[in-house]
């Protein structure tokens, strides 16, 4: 029997960030699946990949925050790159979303495409399509994903600020 190479998916990053966004709140795989608008089998497969990569402990309950921070800081823009696209209506992300929009004022917002969005800007595809719905009920997840997008598509200053903010959430646990 042939062994299959385990490779991370964009969804794995989203699920790990969701677990971090939940903080100390108890959760089940079914809760994660429902809140992220994905199937429970997708969560289960993601846990397998994340455990293999050392991003999740053997019990699948604790995220290795330092390992995830390293991946986001040094690898996310290479593993899951994104280029700003056409001007569309959508939900603000990267430097145009909290918490960076408080610090950075820009006339060039980046958005996840959504007909229900309230901002016009350059299109950035989210890490996973269902996050557009998931962030409507989870501000902490929204902030974490927007910071990740700032690393994926931002300029040097934006990336540096996003990394600093992410470290507060992931490493310092704030």
Average pLDDT of the segment spanning 75-97: 96
Q: Is 60 exposed, middle or buried (0-12, 13-18, 19+ CB in 10 A)?
A: middle
Domains, the chain: 10-79 (1.10.10), 87-170 (no CATH)
Segment holding 41, helix H or strand E: helix 40-52
**Beta-strand pair 87-93/110-113:** antiparallel
* Alpha carbons 86 and 77: distance in angstroms, whole number: 20
Contact criterion met (CB below 8 Å) for 103 and 82:
no
The residues pairing with 139 across neighbouring beta strands, listed in sequence order, are none
pLDDT of residue 60: 86
Question: How does DSSP classify residue 91?
Answer: E
Read off the pLDDT band of 15 (50, 70, 90): very high
**What's the pTM value of the predicted model, to 2 decimals?**
0.94
* φ, ψ of residue 93 in degrees (nearest 5): -145, 180
**4 has pLDDT over 80:** no
**1 has pLDDT over 70:** no
**51 has pLDDT over 70:** yes
pLDDT of residue 174: 62
- Higher-confidence residue of 40 and 2: namely 40
Find the distance separating the first CA and the last CA of the chain, reported in whole Å.
46
């Amino acid at each position: 029997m042939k062994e299959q190479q385990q490779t991370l998916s964009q969804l794995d990053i989203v699920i790990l960030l969701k677990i971090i966004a939940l903080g100390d709140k108890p959760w089940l795989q079914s809760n994660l699946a429902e809140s992220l608008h994905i199937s429970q089998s997708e969560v289960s497969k993601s846990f397998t990949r994340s455990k293999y990569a050392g991003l999740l402990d053997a019990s699948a309950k604790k995220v290795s925050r330092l390992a995830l921070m390293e991946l986001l800081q040094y690898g996310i823009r290479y593993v899951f790159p994104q280029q700003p696209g056409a001007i569309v209506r959508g939900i603000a992300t990267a430097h145009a979303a909290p918490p960076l929009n408080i610090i950075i004022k820009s006339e060039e917002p980046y958005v996840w495409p959504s007909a229900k969005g309230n901002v016009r800007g350059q299109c950035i595809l989210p890490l996973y399509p269902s996050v557009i719905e998931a962030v409507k009920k989870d501000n902490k997840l929204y902030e974490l994903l927007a910071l990740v997008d700032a690393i994926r598509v931002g300029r040097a200053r934006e990336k540096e600020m996003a990394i600093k903010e992410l470290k507060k959430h992931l490493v310092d646990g704030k």
